[in-house]
Amino acid sequence: MMKKYSYTELEAEFARLGYQWSTLHVIGVRSKANEKNKFDDTFYLVNGPMMQVFSGTTNPGTHWLKNLLNPKGTAVLKPGQYIDAYQLGLHQGKYEALVQRKPVTVYRDGDKDDTAEEQGKEDTGLFGINIHRANPSAISSIIDKWSAGCQVLNDPKQYATLIAACKASGKKAFTYTLLREF
């Protein structure tokens, strides 16, 4: 089971990495376990002095690792801070999500095995690496087609909380920071 970090621990890690700590931001932490096709990562919504913890994945599912959408390989978001890279919009034109608005960097995992890996060539651009949910009405346990490189929350109630906080903030752009488990 992945460690849950405190507000202070995350703030200290941001300071260590030289990242900006803003009043409202979304943080993903990629699990060292990297369980195949499982939602084993953690998301944090920092909103002023408050912090909420959500479950999800920062990795693509097995389906897209084996069936490449891009001939260069499946997108695996590179850990880093993506300042103001997201805005509220529609994921695949269907429902509200945090959609990519500025370039992000991904690794192109093209070996077609069932493990998402930080390997392959780096690729930077607008790829639709969104922050969205899996199933709209139930908690998902298997990633499969829910992520082709997006950051995906597997609990629809937690996801609704995230989107509501983003809307309530009145902000037009949101920072997403992806960390490795530390």
Per the domain annotation, does 152 fall within a domain?
Answer: yes
Per the domain annotation, does 171 fall within a domain?
Answer: yes
Q: Check residue 119 and give its pLDDT.
A: 87
**How far apart, in Å, are the Cα atoms of 21 and each of 99, 105, 112, 173, 176?**
21, 20, 36, 15, 11
User: What would the pLDDT profile of 109-118 be if each residue is shown by its tens digit?
Assistant: 999 999 999 9
Comparing CA positions, the residue from 157, 164, 146, 174 lying closest to residue 58 is: 146
Per the domain annotation, does 1 fall within a domain?
Answer: no
Per the domain annotation, does 150 fall within a domain?
Answer: yes
Mean pLDDT to the nearest integer, 148-156: 98
Band (pLDDT 50/70/90 cuts) for residue 120 is: confident
Number of folded domains that form the chain: 1
- Provide the β-strand partners of residue 122: 107
Per the domain annotation, does 36 fall within a domain?
Answer: yes
Mean pLDDT to the nearest integer, 145-163: 98
The per-residue b/e assignment along 6-24, b for 16 or more CB within 10 angstroms, e otherwise, is: eeeebeebbeeeebebeeb
Task: Give me the domain span that covers residue 54.
Answer: 7-180
Per the domain annotation, does 61 fall within a domain?
Answer: yes
Comparing CA positions, the residue from 79, 81, 67 lying closest to residue 19 is: 81
Q: Using the 8-state DSSP alphabet, how is residue 146 labeled?
A: G
Q: Check residue 2 and give its pLDDT.
A: 82
Mean pLDDT to the nearest integer, 152-170: 97
Mean pLDDT to the nearest integer, 40-68: 97
164, containing H or E segment: helix 156-169
Per the domain annotation, does 104 fall within a domain?
Answer: yes
User: What would the pLDDT profile of 121-148 be if each residue is shown by its tens digit?
Assistant: 999 999 999 999 999 999 999 999 999 9
